[in-house]
C-alpha cells in the first residue's frame, strides 16, 4: 500500500489483539526492510546493544555478540507472556499536536491507557490569558472534541485517559466535556475525574508573607521583584492525585499542571501497586514518561538517524508496554508509520535533559545514567535497569509573568546578491529607527537562508543564494515603542533595496511577552490543597 496516497484507515472494526500483534508475522513489513541501501538487517538482530551491565567488552565487541547467551536467557525469562503487561499509549506531545494520533492510538490496536500531554512551560500563561477574557476558558479546547470522538471507543475497548488538558481551568474543561457528551449515545456513562490544587495564584502573597521567597531557580532573584506582573502560578503535581482518581474508577482524568511524566507512570503505580518509596520502580516510570511525553519524537519524528527512510505520513506514536518489575518495551502499532529503534529512543531520552543523574520529579529523583536499552528489532526497544533515589521535599512551581512586548518582521530578497540586499535593508531599517529616535531593550537581525540557525558556524553567506529573508525582531517594555517599529518594515518595500517580496502578511504584530519563572516551594505548603473528585457524565 502506498501510504502517501492512502493513509492507513483506523481499523476500528478489527482490533488487533496483543497476541496477534506480537505473534509471528503479526507486525507486517517493517519499514526497514524496504531500506534501499540495506543499512539495517530486517529484524536488526545486530542492532547495537549497549548493555553496560555485561561488562566493558561490549564497547569493542562486534554488534552481533553484544549479549552473552546467559543474558539472552534472562531476557527471555523476563518476557514471560503470562505476566501482566500494561500499555500506555501517547497521543499528544504538546497543545497543537496531530489530532489523528490519539484516535489511531486507540483504534489501531490494544492499549490500556491513553496519555495526552498538552502543557509546555508557557502554555499555562496562554491559557490564563484566555481565561481572563472568558471565565469558562483556560484549558485545551480540542481535548473536548477529541474525547467526544473517542468516547464510544473508550467504553468499547476499556481504554482510560490521563491528560493535563485542564490547564488553568480543569473544572471548566470537565463542564465543557459534560455538555458535549450529552449528545453522544454511550452504553454507560463515563466517569471523569478532576485534579485540583496545582493553581496557587491566589495564595502567592500568603506564601511570600510566610517566608517562601519563590526565588528564580536560575537567577536566584526573589519573586517579589516581579510579583505585580505575575499572570499564573502552578505547582507541578506528581502521580498521587492521578492514582487517587484512577482508584475512584475514573475513565478520564483531567489535571492542570501535572508533570508530563506522571501522566504515564501514575497508571503504572495504580496497576502494579508500586510503593511510594520504591524509588527504582518509580524512576522506571519516569523514564517511560519521558519517552512518551513528546509523542512522535520517540517514534521517528524529528529523528536525525535515517530520516529519509522513516515514513511519517501516518505515524504511530509511542506505546509503553510495562511490567510490574519496572522493565518496559517502547513500541508502536505495527500498522502505522514511524519507527522505534535504539536511535529514536535515545534521541528522545537526551531531549531537554539536564543533569542525567538528577532528573527531579515530585515523586522520585531518576538517574538516567542507569538506563539500559536493548533494540529487539521490529520496532521494539527494551528498557531496564533504571535506578532512582528518594524524592526531594520541594515541588517545582511554574510561574508566568508579563515582561514587555516584542515584534518580529520579515522581508525576502531575491537573487542576485540576495544576502547583500537583505543586509542593506537591515542597515536602512536600523538607520530609520535611529532617525526616529526609537530605542529598544533589544534589536536582533537574522538572515534566514544565510545562517539564521547556525550563525558563524554556517560559514560566510554565498554569493549565489536564490533568496534570503531578512528577519528583524525588537523587544521593549514600552508597547508604543514596539508598535512604532512595526510601521517601519513595510516602507522598505518601495523605499529600500530591490527585488523584495514576502510582505503579504502585513505589518508585524505586537506580542505580549510572557516570561517563565521557575521556582521551588516546600512540598508541605501545597500538597494538602490537592483534591480529586470524580463524576459521571
State the residues that interact with other proteins by CB under 8 A: 37, 39-40, 48, 50, 52, 58-61, 63, 121-122, 218, 302-306, 308, 343, 346-357, 368-373, 385, 403, 406, 408, 442-444, 446, 448, 452-457, 471, 473-475, 511, 513-516, 518
Cα 46 versus chain centre, distance: 31
Give the residue with the Cβ less far from other proteins, 276 or 515: 515
CB of 356 to other proteins, least distance (A): 5
Nearer to other proteins, 197 or 425 (CB): 425
- Which one, of 266, 141, 128, lies nearest residue 195 by Cα? 266
Shortest approach of other proteins to residue 228 CB, angstroms?
Answer: 18
Torsion of CA 306, 309, 314, 320, to 10 degrees: -40
Q: Which residues contact 343 (CB under 8 A, 6 or more apart)?
A: 303, 305, 306
What's the min distance (Å) between Cβ of 62 and other proteins? 9
Lookup: cell for 120: 509546555
Q: Toward other proteins, which CB reaches closer, 33 or 83?
A: 33
Q: Which CB, 245 or 482, lies closer to other proteins?
A: 482
Long-range contacts of 419-422 (CB under 8 A, 24+ apart): 419/447, 419/449, 419/450, 419/461, 419/462, 419/463, 419/465, 419/468, 421/468, 421/497, 421/498, 421/499, 421/500, 422/447, 422/450, 422/468, 422/469, 422/470, 422/497
Q: With respect to other proteins, which residue has the nearer C-beta, 272 or 359?
A: 359
| 313 vs 511 by CB, closer to other proteins | 511
| Dist CA 174 CA 194 (whole Å) | 7
Closer CB to other proteins, 312 or 448, in the complex: 448
What is the nearest approach in angstroms of other proteins to the Cβ of residue 61? 8
Q: What is the dihedral of CA 40, 42, 48, 50, to 10 degrees?
A: 160
Of the two residues 392 and 511, which places its CB atom closer to other proteins in the complex?
A: 511
- List the alpha helices (DSSP H) in 226-379: 240-247, 262-272, 279-292, 342-349
Residue closer to other proteins by CB (options 248, 402) is 402
Q: How far is the CB of 120 from other proteins (least distance, A)?
A: 9
Angle separating helix axes 240-247 and 262-272, nearest 10 degrees: 50
CB of 352 to other proteins, least distance (A): 4
Residue 346 beta carbon to other proteins: minimum distance, rounded to whole angstroms: 5
Beta-bridged to residue 330, according to DSSP, are 320, 381
Q: Give me the residue label for grid cell 471507543.
A: 153
CA distance 202 to 217: 21
CB of 467 to other proteins, least distance (A): 16
**How near is the Cβ of 369 to other proteins at its closest, in Å?**
5
CB of 162 to other proteins, least distance (A): 23
Q: In whole angstroms, what is the distance from residue 289 CA to residue 294 CA? A: 9
Report long-range pairs for 445-452 (Cβ below 8 Å, ≥24 apart): 445/470, 445/471, 445/472, 446/471, 446/472, 446/473, 447/419, 447/422, 447/423, 447/471, 448/410, 449/418, 449/419, 450/418, 450/419, 450/422
DSSP character at residue 318 = P
Please identify, using beta-carbon distances, which residue of 144 and 400 lies nearer to other proteins.
Answer: 400
Cell (9 digits) for 451: 545562517
According to DSSP, the residues that pair with 435 across neighbouring strands are none
Are the C-beta atoms of 410 and 448 separated by less than 8 Å? yes
How far apart are CB 1 and other proteins at their closest, in Å? Answer: 25
Residue 403 contacts residue 478 (beta carbons within 8 Å): no
Q: Please identify, using beta-carbon distances, which residue of 259 and 534 lies nearer to other proteins.
A: 259
Nearer Cβ to other proteins (42/356): 356
Cα→Cα distances 528→157, 237, 397, 434, 518, Å: 35, 12, 16, 55, 21
**What are the two backbone dihedrals, phi and then psi, of residue 191, each rounded to the nearest 5 degrees?**
-90, 120
| Distance from C-alpha of 513 to C-alpha of 518, rounded to nearest angstrom | 16
Min separation Cβ 54 and other proteins, Å = 11
Amino acid at each position: 500500500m502506498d501510504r502517501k496516497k492512502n493513509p492507513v484507515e483506523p481499523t476500528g472494526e478489527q482490533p488487533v489483539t496483543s497476541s496477534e500483534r506480537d505473534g509471528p508475522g503479526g507486525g507486517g513489513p517493517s519499514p526497514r526492510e524496504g531500506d534501499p541501501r540495506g543499512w539495517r538487517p530486517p529484524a536488526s538482530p545486530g542492532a547495537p546493544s549497549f548493555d553496560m551491565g555485561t561488562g566493558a567488552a561490549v564497547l569493542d565487541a562486534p554488534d552481533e555478540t553484544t549479549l552473552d547467551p546467559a543474558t539472552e536467557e534472562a531476557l527471555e525469562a523476563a518476557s514471560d507472556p503470562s505476566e501482566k503487561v500494561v500499555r500506555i499509549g501517547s497521543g499528544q506531545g504538546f497543545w497543537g499536536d496531530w489530532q489523528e494520533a490519539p484516535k489511531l492510538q486507540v483504534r489501531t490496536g490494544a492499549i490500556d491507557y491513553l496519555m495526552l500531554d498538552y502543557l509546555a512551560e508557557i502554555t499555562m500563561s496562554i491559557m490564563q490569558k484566555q481565561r481572563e477574557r472568558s471565565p469558562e476558558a483556560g484549558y485545551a479546547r480540542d481535548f473536548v472534541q477529541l474525547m467526544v470522538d473517542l468516547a464510544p471507543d473508550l467504553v468499547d475497548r476499556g481504554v482510560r485517559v490521563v491528560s493535563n488538558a485542564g490547564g488553568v481551568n480543569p473544572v471548566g474543561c470537565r463542564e465543557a466535556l459534560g455538555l458535549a457528551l450529552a449528545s453522544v449515545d454511550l452504553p454507560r456513562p463515563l466517569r471523569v475525574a478532576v485534579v485540583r490544587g496545582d493553581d496557587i495564584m491566589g495564595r502567592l502573597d500568603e506564601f511570600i508573607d510566610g517566608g517562601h521567597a519563590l526565588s528564580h531557580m536560575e537567577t536566584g532573584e526573589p519573586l517579589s521583584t516581579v510579583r505585580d506582573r505575575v499572570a499564573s502560578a502552578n505547582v507541578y503535581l506528581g502521580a498521587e492525585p492521578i492514582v487517587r482518581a484512577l482508584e475512584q474508577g475514573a475513565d478520564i482524568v483531567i489535571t492542570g499542571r501535572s508533570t508530563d511524566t506522571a501522566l504515564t507512570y501514575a497508571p503504572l503505580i495504580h496497576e502494579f501497586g508500586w510503593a511510594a518509596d520504591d524509588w527504582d520502580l518509580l524512576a522506571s516510570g519516569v523514564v517511560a514518561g519521558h519517552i512518551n511525553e513528546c509523542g512522535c519524537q520517540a517514534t521517528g519524528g524529528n529523528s536525525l538517524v535515517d530520516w529519509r527512510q522513516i515514513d511519517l505520513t501516518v505515524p504511530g506514536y509511542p506505546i509503553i508496554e510495562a511490567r510490574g518489575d519496572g522493565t518496559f518495551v517502547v513500541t508502536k502499532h505495527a500498522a502505522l508509520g514511524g519507527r522505534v529503534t535504539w536511535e529514536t529512543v535515545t534521541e528522545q531520552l537526551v531531549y531537554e535533559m539536564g543533569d542525567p543523574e538528577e532528573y527531579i520529579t515530585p515523586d522520585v529523583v531518576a538517574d538516567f545514567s542507569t538506563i539500559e536499552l536493548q533494540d529487539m528489532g521490529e520496532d521494539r526497544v527494551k528498557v531496564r535497569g533504571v535506578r532512582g533515589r528518594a524524592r526531594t521535599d520541594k515541588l517545582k512551581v511554574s510561574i508566568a509573568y508579563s515582561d514587555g512586548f516584542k515584534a518580529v518582521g520579515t522581508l525576502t530578497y531575491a537573487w542576485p546578491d540576495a544576502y547583500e540586499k537583505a543586509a542593506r535593508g537591515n542597515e536602512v531599517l536600523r538607520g530609520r529607527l535611529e532617525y526616529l529616535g526609537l530605542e529598544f531593550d533589544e534589536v536582533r537581525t537574522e538572515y534566514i537562508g544565510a545562517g539564521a540557525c547556525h550563525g558563524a558556524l554556517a560559514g560566510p553567506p554565498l554569493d549565489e543564494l536564490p533568496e534570503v529573508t531578512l528577519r528583524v525582531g525588537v523587544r521593549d517594555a514600552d508597547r508604543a515603542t514596539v508598535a512604532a517599529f512595526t510601521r517601519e518594515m513595510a516602507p522598505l518595500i518601495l523605499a529600500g533595496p530591490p527585488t523584495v517580496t514576502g510582505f503579504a502578511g502585513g505589518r508585524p504584530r505586537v506580542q505580549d511577552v510572557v516570561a517563565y519563572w521557575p521556582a521551588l516551594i516546600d512540598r508541605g505548603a501545597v500538597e494538602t490543597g490537592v483534591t480529586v473528585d470524580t463524576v459521571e457524565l
